[in-house]
Amino acid sequence: MEHQNSDRRFVRIRDPIISQIREIVLRLQHLNRVQSPIINRIRQDLAWQFPEAAMTSLDAPLFWGWLASERKSARYDKKLINSSGLGLEPEVIHSAKAICELQRRERALELQMRALMKDVRFLKYRKVFARFGFGERIEALILSQIYPLENYFGANGLPEVKVRIGRESGKPTKRHLSRRRFQKALGVAPTREDSGDKKTSKKAGSSLIRMALWQWVFTRIEPKKSRVKNSLGTALGSIFDKEKEQSRPIRLIRSRIASRAMAWLFAKLVKELVTDNN
């Protein structure tokens, strides 16, 4: 039975829609990486060409369209006329056009991803995701990694839990194997690596999702004003605050919060997908 269960865990069901969603997310990540150095270069050039714009947010599509001479804006025209800078150079305008094109590609991919995510099979997953306030890209990234949830279950089609006697306590201890596999796939379960006398711990699983979850913790759990407005956000925020009060390293706190959140995500997905069907 154990051998059969072990084989079952490593059989990944290749769903074409899931594969397409993951490919779109990867492309979006690539486009984001491509834009960063271009935007940084533009910001440096604007510091002497149009400093009033360099000191403001460069995220607005209107600004990029105006800078690329693709959109009109009386506000930016007025600012440029009264600017203390030396005036816009052709290279900045050319770079702005590149940003506009990259953002158009982003919007097209996001629309495609949004349409794919509406598949009826994903509704219950997304219902649970919504409680965590992940945002569309992180939802798509997680879904593409963990769908279907049954891949992490035991041979009986249910979450696998084993009981063993603790070496020191002598008391029975539950090992939530399915949950552990789930966390590991998402890159938030530490794995021990022993080499001689040296013992280290590293994260296994998807580094891309791990970074996305760290960003989610940074933007939706750490800042009190931006926390997810429900019991989950309150509970995770409380844990974060207590850890911070104890002066623990911020990287460690973020890692623990992400791991705890994914353990809760697994439990709530099981409740939504399995418990309600039995």
Minimum mean pLDDT range among 2-6, 104-108, 155-159, 252-256: 2-6
- What digits encode the pLDDT tens for the residues 12-45? 556 899 999 999 999 999 999 999 999 999 999 9
pLDDT, mean of residues 129-148:
95
Q: Answer left, alpha or beta for residue 190, where phi above 0 means left and psi between -120 and 50 means alpha.
A: beta
More confidently predicted of 130 and 7 = 130
Judged against a pLDDT cut of 70, whether residue 248 lies above it is answered with: yes
> Cβ-count burial of 4 within 10 angstroms (0-12 exposed, 13-18 middle, 19+ buried)?
exposed
86 φ/ψ angles, rounded to the nearest 5 degrees: -95, 0
Map residue 7 onto helix, strand or coil: helix
Of how many residues is the chain composed?
A: 278
What is the topology classification, in CATH, of domain 16-118?
Helix Hairpins (1.10.287)
- What digits encode the pLDDT tens for the residues 161-186? 998 877 777 788 888 999 999 999 99
Position 7 confidence tier, pLDDT thresholds 50, 70, 90: very low
Percent of the chain with pLDDT over 70: 86
Q: What is the pTM of this model?
A: 0.81
As annotated, the residues of the chain forming the CATH 1.10.287.4070 domain(s) are 16-118
pLDDT, mean of residues 261-271:
97
CB atoms inside a 10 Å sphere around CB 127: 13
- DSSP at 192: E
CA distance 143 to 149: 9
- What b/e readout covers 90-119, taking b as 16+ CB neighbours within 10 angstroms? eebeebbbebbebeeeeeebeeebeebbeb
Judge contact between 173 and 261, C-beta under 8 A: no
Position 54 confidence tier, pLDDT thresholds 50, 70, 90: confident
Position 260 confidence tier, pLDDT thresholds 50, 70, 90: very high
Return mean pLDDT, the chain.
88
pLDDT, mean of residues 56-71:
87
Torsion of CA 132, 133, 135, 136, to 10 degrees: 60
Judged against a pLDDT cut of 50, whether residue 222 lies above it is answered with: yes
> Cβ-count burial of 159 within 10 angstroms (0-12 exposed, 13-18 middle, 19+ buried)?
buried
Judged against a pLDDT cut of 80, whether residue 199 lies above it is answered with: no
- Give pLDDT, residue 193: 44
CA distance 275 to 63: 50
